[in-house]
């Protein structure tokens, strides 16, 4: 028998779809609609073995030229984890993005980013607020990302600025938007934002309270990475990239959801919303989540069953990260993870035909 909680969630989703019947993806979401989507589409908080405050994928830009060339513009983007999605959004310019992560703290980190984007006129203002360091003199719209990161790496931490910035973030979310965050959620925002303050541009993946692990790339390094051909494509690489993401944030078009890729609701609910708005999934950044799913019984099957419920077309593409030690491709940067692309419909076809049983079966379908 369906639980009351599930019945309520389905009723909320139906209300969202009915209100938008016969409409395309809106150009802007009202605050109330945005928050209703965040809550109605989400599942209960889950666990992951790291805080995951930052990507560790130095090759995430390598696939952007092919991704832009081969996918259709103006679709819907799906992703997982935090800031690396902004780089893909700047390149793909979708109508709306849904970031689905099993950790509720990821959706809270995305809300912090949302407030910072909205309050910051340019990249230098944003970076100043992100790390609570005074804006260095001489930075402007023409500054390179190398100059931006070098300047802020040398800038001192400012505890008074941190206190003001944190208060401004909360005021933006609570008062300007009216998002009813709980005390526990606000405490999590305190914790996450403090990590950025203490580490600054040296923040790295899975940084613990005592520092960071040097084998992981830092925030500054990731922002300065290239697509393998010398072009810097991070979301802070140019004012144009930054403005693309800022505009989406100002229009409430980056929706952070708490959800399990194998769960019964989040991905399927996103698929219902997208289908009801006559759109398709352009790209789905899954990072290396599949690596974990293939180690957890039939979880990978539940995930692909959920993917099969999404509205796709022939250009819909997975963006995935191949973990170290699993069939590394020649030319992978720095001997670390490498990004791969894969046709979503092609993978589902192979899955339905029983051609996928192991992790490497899925990897071998990628390019």
Closest CA to 223 of 339, 336, 94, 54: 54
Percentage above 90 pLDDT, the chain? 84
In a domain, residue 10? The reply is: no
**Residue 211 — pLDDT band, cuts 50, 70, 90?**
very low
In order, the DSSP letters of 193-253 are: HHHHHHHGGG-BTT-BTTB--TTSPBHHHHHH---SSS---STTS-HHHHHHHHHHHHTT-
Give the pLDDT of residue 210: 47
Residue where the block lists tokens 């076809």 = 349
Query: Which residue in 184, 211, 182 sits closest to 195, CA to CA?
Result: 211
Q: Let me know the angle formed at the C-alpha of 158 by 156 and 164, rounded to the nearest 5 degrees.
A: 150
Q: Helices in 51-103 by DSSP H: which ranges?
A: 64-70, 84-92
- In this structure, what is the dihedral angle of CA atoms 303, 101, 28, 25, given to the nearest 10 degrees? 0
Spell out a b/e string for 299-313, using b for 16 or more CB atoms within 10 Å of the CB, else e. bbebbbebbbebbbe
122-150 per-position pLDDT tens digit:
999 999 999 999 999 999 999 999 999 99
In-domain check, residue 16:
no
Tally Cβ neighbours within 10 Å of residue 36. 17
Residue 296 C-alpha from the chain's centroid: 23
CA atoms within 13 A on the CB side of 95: 18
Q: What is the pLDDT of residues 92-102, one digit of tens each?
A: 999 999 999 99
Task: Please tell me the distance from the alpha carbon of residue 341 to that of residue 61, in angstroms, as a whole number.
Answer: 12
- Asked whether residue 314 is assigned to any structural domain, the reply reads yes
pLDDT of residue 356: 97
Looking at the whole model, is its pTM more than 0.85? yes
| pLDDT greater at residue 323 or residue 283 | 283
Q: Give the side-chain half-sphere CA count within 13 A for 193.
A: 31
347 pLDDT above the threshold of 60: yes
pLDDT for the residue 12: 53
Number of domains the chain contains: 1
pLDDT for res 1: 42
Structure tokens at 328: 């590394």
HSE at residue 135, side-chain half, CA atoms within 13 A, is 15
In a domain, 12, yes or no: no
Please tell me the predicted confidence (pLDDT) of residue 58.
93
Residue 162 located in a structural domain: yes
Residues spanned by the domain of 133 = 31-363
Look at residues 119, 148, 81 and name the one whose alpha carbon lies nearest to residue 249.
119
CA 217 vs. chain centroid, Å, equals 18
Poorest-pLDDT segment among 110-114, 195-199, 215-219, 259-263: 215-219
- Euclidean distance between CA atoms 322 and 56, whole angstroms: 12
Q: How far apart are CA 347 and CA 353, in angstroms?
A: 10
The answer as to whether 11 is a domain residue is no
Instruction: Retrieve residue 318's tokens.
Output: 């997975």
Residue 18 within a domain: no
Alpha-carbon Rg for the chain, nearest whole angstrom, is: 20
Angle at 252 between CA 247 and CA 255, to 5 degrees: 115
**Phi and psi angles of residue 262, each rounded to the nearest 5 degrees, phi first:** -100, 0
Q: Which residue has the higher pLDDT, 24 or 22?
A: 24
Inside any domain, residue 7: no
CA distance 280 to 172: 32
103, 112, 129, 178, 366 from 288: Cα distances, Å: 15, 24, 30, 35, 13
Is residue 100 helix, strand or coil? strand
Residue with tokens 């809300």: 111
């Amino acid at each position: 028998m369906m639980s009351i909680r599930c019945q309520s969630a389905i009723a909320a989703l139906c209300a969202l779809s009915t209100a938008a019947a016969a409409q395309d993806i809106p150009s802007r979401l009202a605050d109330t609609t945005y928050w209703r989507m965040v809550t109605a589409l989400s599942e209960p908080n889950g666990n992951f073995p790291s805080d995951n405050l930052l990507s560790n994928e130095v090759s995430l830009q390598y696939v952007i030229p092919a991704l832009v060339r081969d996918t259709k513009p103006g679709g819907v983007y799906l992703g997982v984890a935090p800031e690396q999605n902004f780089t893909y959004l700047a390149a793909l310019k979708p109508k709306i993005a849904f970031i689905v992560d099993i950790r509720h703290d990821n959706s809270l980190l995305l809300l912090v980013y949302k407030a910072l984007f909205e309050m910051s006129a340019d990249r230098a203002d944003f970076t100043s607020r992100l790390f609570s360091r005074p804006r260095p003199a001489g930075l402007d719209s023409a500054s390179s990302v190398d100059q931006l990161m070098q300047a802020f790496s040398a800038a001192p931490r400012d505890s008074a600025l941190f206190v003001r910035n944190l208060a401004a973030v909360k005021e933006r979310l609570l008062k300007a938007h009216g998002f009813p965050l709980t005390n526990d959620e606000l405490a999590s925002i305190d914790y996450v934002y403090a990590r950025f303050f203490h580490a600054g541009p040296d923040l790295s993946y899975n940084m613990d309270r005592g520092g960071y692990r040097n084998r992981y790339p830092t925030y500054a390094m990731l922002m300065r990475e290239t697509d393998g051909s010398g072009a810097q494509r991070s979301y802070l690489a140019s004012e144009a990239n930054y403005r693309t993401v800022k505009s989406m944030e100002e229009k409430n078009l980056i929706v952070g959801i708490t959800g399990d890729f194998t769960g019964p609701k989040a991905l399927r609910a996103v698929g219902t919303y997208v289908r009801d708005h006559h759109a398709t999934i352009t790209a789905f950044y899954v990072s290396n989540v599949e690596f974990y799913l293939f180690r957890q019984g039939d979880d990978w099957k539940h995930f692909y069953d959920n993917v099969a419920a999404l509205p796709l077309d022939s250009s819909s593409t997975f963006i995935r990260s191949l973990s170290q030690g699993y069939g590394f491709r020649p030319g992978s940067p720095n001997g670390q993870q490498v990004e791969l692309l894969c046709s979503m419909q092609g993978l589902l076809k192979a899955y339905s035909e029983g051609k996928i049983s192991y992790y490497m079966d899925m990897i071998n379908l990628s390019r």
